[in-house]
Chains A and B, each alone.
Chain A
């Protein structure tokens, strides 16, 4: 099974500043035949279910603000929030869907400094 590891476990950022979350997979999630990374990012606010933000490592879902961006390839990925807003306080998870069983990172808790 592919193990997903996020860093840091928690992060405090000032409003308007950049937040960066890292996700590493224990093996590559890049499918060579289509050059796509099978990596998703989710946002989970307290008491709410996860919300899908990004597919294919960098493709934002419809309605997701453009301050959210994903990057990376192979085994190393990053979620960046360019200018932190109060409503972005949440736990963020990465997930690989390259191979079954799909698997999630342990989560990164993002707070306001």
Chain B
């Protein structure tokens, strides 16, 4: 299982920070990356980036300058930081298990419930 946690409201220009806790399996599995995907209200899903347990990351080019994804294998958690947020970053943020080493690319077989983050003053 995956569970997102973090503030539901972030001020414009500040940093959005979320944590995903992985349970019922090992975050250090060699088969998987761990990803973040978001869904703005009424819009399509957008992949943000994924991380391997070693710390290797792949990030969406359009967000790369503002995104940091990190992993803490001891806590079985990975996290997302998105800087300089604007209203356009308002979305439901999902963490998900990325089947990268199984399908040789990014597809997602287990998802967290999602957490709504609103950017507003």
A-side residues, CB < 8 A to B, are 38, 40, 48-52, 55-56, 61, 93, 95, 97-107
Contact = CB atoms under 8 A, between A and B. Distances in A.
Given A48-B113, A102-B107, A104-B47, 15 more contacts: A40-B107, A49-B113, A50-B111, A52-B107, A52-B109, A56-B103, A93-B44, A95-B45, A100-B105, A101-B47, A101-B60, A101-B61, A102-B106, A103-B47, A104-B46
Contacts of A98: 105
Secondary structure at chain B's binding surface: helix, strand, loop or mixed?
loop
Contact of A102 (B94, B105, B111): B105
B58 interface: yes
A61 B109 contact: yes
Contacts, number: 53
Contacts of A56: 103
Contacts of A99: 105
A102 B112 contact: no
A27 to B, nearest CB: 15
A102 B108 CA distance: 11
Nearest to B96: A49
Given A49-B94, A49-B112, A49-B114, A97 B44 contact: no
Contact of B107 (A48, A51, A97, A107): A97
12 contacts: A49-B94, A49-B114, A50-B45, A50-B94, A50-B108, A52-B107, A55-B103, A93-B44, A95-B45, A101-B106, A104-B46, A105-B44
Contacts of B106: 97, 100-102
Nearest to B105: A97
A49 B112 CA distance: 7
A97 B101 CA distance: 12
A54 to B, nearest CB: 10
A73 to B, nearest CB: 17
A51 B107 CA distance: 11
B13 to A, nearest CB: 25
A39 to B, nearest CB: 9
